[in-house]
Amino acid sequence: MPIYSIQNTLTSNQFIQYNDTLVSAAGTFEAGFFNFGDPQRQYFGIWYKNISPRTIVWVANRNTPAQNSTAMMKLADQGSLVLLDGSKGIIWNSNSSRIGVKPVVQLLDSGNLVLKDANSAKNILWESFDYPDNTFLAGMQLKSNLVTGPYRYLTSWRSLEDPAPGEFSYKIDTHGYPQQVTSKGATILYRAGSWNGILFTGVSWLRKNRISNFSFVFTDKELSYQYESLNNSIITRLVLDPYGTSQRFIWSDRTQVWESISSRPEDQCDVYALCGINSNCNINAFPICECLEGFMPKFQTKWKSSNWSDGCVRKTHLNCLHGDGFLKYTNMKLPDTSSSWFDNSLSLEECKRTCLKNCSCTAYANLDVRDGGSGCLVWFDNIVDMRIHPDQGQDIYIRLAFSELGYIKTLFNKNEKGDGDLVTIFDFSAITTATNNFSNRNKLGEGGFGPVYKGIMVDGQEIAVKRLSKTSGQGIEEFKNEVKLMATLQHRNLAKLIDTKRSKLLDWTKRLEIIDGIARGLLYLHQDSRLRIVHRDVKTSNILLDIDMVPKISDFGLARLFMRDQAEANTNTVTGTHGYMPPEYAVHGSFSIKSDVFSFGVVVLEIISGWKNSRFCDPQHRLDLLGHAWRLWMEERPEELIADILCDEAICPEIIRFIHVGLLCVQQLPENRPNMSSVVLMLKGEKLLPEPSEPGFYTGRNNNSSEFSINEATISLLEAR
């Protein structure tokens, strides 16, 4: 039985022996001796009292286990907490002796073992939180005195049953602007990034249901990082395991287990400097490493073989005397700040001017993102360890020579075999000449990114040029995503070059051929290519026709790469176009190949009817195009959906079969929709057609408004509910 009161207090010359425990006031934690099955190796530690199996959060004698069960923890007269081994004497000491104090030890409900002077409750002589183990608890601080030291950080255990300090550390790196890193010795393995006023820029812990409040204090004398639980009933901890992974756990009363809610590194892009210098890592791209705009791989052959360690070099050297410019990147984990410079008082514009004055300055960003942004953070020489964080991240401005800011990249399918790596780079002046200075006469159309212009190169090659609008919701990342996919994918019904659209009346045979071509293009994306691609923005304006009226699926800016065994994915930011998005995506942010099937079905019904879904409204029944088609089908009058152009008796049954397939594709539930391989067979009449069920977003007789916007521009800021 313990020899001390339940009030968690140990006074001078009292001690804790084997099988004794010191319990915190509310019974959350207890401290005492434990072992990992070998009674000859005893440790003194702290653990959760009512959680099984025992979860250790701190160990005193990590390097020096007691050799037998005669060990005791004793509070000496002058305030030192000592661990005694019956055969060796003192094997651990808090080294906190003070003359003239009345020492007491308390185990707090935070898990902090505190030694203080009973004559002055605020006079803390020593506390376990100042000597972190492998566990980061609420209320604990990772702190450093920047003048005198010391430097507090987590260290991993050597193994799951050996608490001796292992190879890995979790700390705040104080070089340059402070940042959180996980290291193996002196080598950085993972970098959570620098603090931006809310969180570290490389961490995605900002969620709707937050459980903790994180804070970071940084002055010229000290820094500290800690978190507090927002709900005292929630038990959470961060652990650096023996393999260098930091995991945040939450205790589940329902399942009685620790549930991992985050783990770092989370994916391949979290590996420090994976892509080398002057590069960016995008886990949703293929390949995941890409040179920054204005840079190219240092060694092309190695880069193409996915050896990115040498990174990228500038295509055009900076010209400090005659001025340079900056290219803005959004939603980024800021690069390594160990060689950065910062100033809390400068505005972003002042930061830009400061960077331009220094020929070695290569990038700048706000120090703090709160309240519209403040402070200045600048980088010198090479950019290291930057990645995209689509759900959060930060803006950063990368310095480029002015000539590089005018480049536009355009793809060309140079041979029939189609080499996916063929990319030609054109100077901005060449594009300007080809498009007659972006004349309105050359304008082909406009999408969510901005206008598209027809151009003719000096060799007579016709091209189409996307020009990004300043007001566009899309940007560099969507454009680069499209470039990479189009450079990789090869199919006659996928656009390698944006082909000229021609306004021409199409007969029914040609219309049905176009529908069949679109279906085959989607089948290639979903099944037949070496990649599995979900387009996410299939619509009539993204179906381009070449001179022979062969359809080409274009605009891969929103496309996503799926693993072969991956069925679906989810996003908090819904991207696509009203009128073509299936209900599970628009409402819940869930998308799959069946999302493209739904959009394809809408396109089929639009081509057959001659109406756009987003612009059609049946005034009598208040139905959108899908609802109108469904009503006609149920009333056995599908031929009334056919556009008002002549079709002979031979072609009419085939058109009705296409309507049938279109309705199967737009069914409410994704599991009821056919896949594209079945669709291709259905269109050819080679597969029996089941009866369709009610379409998604079918608006009924009593609905006062359409579910869809009349604006066909691609949207990218709609939050899933």
Residues taking part in catalysis: 537
DSSP class of 244 = S
Name the residue type at position 78: Q
CA 301 to chain centroid, in Å, comes to: 29
Structure tokens that stand for 677 in this block: 């391989």
Torsion sign over Cα 493, 498, 499, 505 = positive
Task: Please tell me whether residue 23 adopts helix, strand or coil conformation.
Answer: strand
**Crossing angle (nearest 10°) for helices 593-609 and 652-665:** 150
Please state, in angstroms and rounded to a whole number, the distance separating the CA atoms of residues 688 and 682: 7
Dihedral of CA atoms 252, 255, 261, 267 in degrees, nearest 10, equals 160
Beta carbons within 10 angstroms of residue 691's beta carbon: 8
Of the candidates 380, 378, 360, 377, the one whose C-alpha atom is nearest the C-alpha of residue 320 is 360
Task: Report the 3 state secondary structure along 517-545.
Answer: HHHHHHHHHHHHCCCEEECCCCCHHHEEE
Q: Angle, nearest 10°, between helix axes 625-634 and 593-609?
A: 80
Residue 379: alpha-carbon gap to chain centroid = 23
221 secondary structure, DSSP code? S
DSSP string for residues in 560-628: EEE-TT--EEE-SEEEE-TTTS-HHHHHH-EEEHHHHHHHHHHHHHHHHHS--TTT--BTTTTB-HHHH
| Residue 417: HSE in the Cβ half-sphere, 13 Å Cα cutoff | 3
Q: Residue 533 and residue 697: Cα distance in Å, rounded?
A: 25
Burial of 531 (0-12, 13-18, 19+ CB in 10 A): middle
- Cβ burial, residue 256 (10 Å; 0-12/13-18/19+): exposed
Residues contacting residue 609 through CB under 8 Å, at least 6 positions apart:
616, 625, 629, 641, 642, 643
My answer on whether omega of the bond before 150 falls inside 30° of 0, hence cis, is: yes
Cα(177)–Cα(210) distance, rounded to whole angstroms? Answer: 27
Characterise 601 by phi-psi region: left (phi > 0), alpha (psi -120 to 50), beta (else): alpha
**Are the C-beta atoms of 225 and 180 separated by less than 8 Å?**
yes
R_g (Cα) of the chain, nearest Å: 32
Q: Cα 317–321–326 angle (5° rounding)?
A: 60
End-to-end CA distance of the chain: 56
C-beta of residue 295 within 8 angstroms of C-beta of residue 314: yes
